[in-house]
Amino acid sequence: MSRVTIKSVNSLPTLVNTPEAAEILGRSPATLKRWRHQGIGPKYVEIEGRVSYNVKVLLDYIEKNTRVPSVRAAMEETREAV
Task: Tell me the C-alpha distance between 52 and 20, whole Å.
Answer: 9
- Residues in CB range of 51: below 8 A, 6 or more apart: 17, 18, 36, 44, 45
Does residue 41 sit within a domain? yes
The number of folded domains in the chain is 1
Type of residue at 55: V
- Residue 48: CATH number of its domain: 1.10.1660.10
The residue range of the domain holding 58 is 13-81
Low-confidence ranges of the chain (pLDDT < 50): none
Does residue 26 sit within a domain? yes
Residue-level pLDDT at 49: 96
Residue-level pLDDT at 72: 73
pLDDT tens for each residue of 19-41: 999 999 999 999 999 999 999 99
Does residue 23 sit within a domain? yes
Task: Tell me the C-alpha distance between 18 and 25, whole Å.
Answer: 10
pTM of the model as a whole: 0.72
Does residue 6 sit within a domain? no
Does residue 35 sit within a domain? yes
Give backbone dihedrals phi and psi of 23, rounded to 5 degrees, phi first.
-65, -40
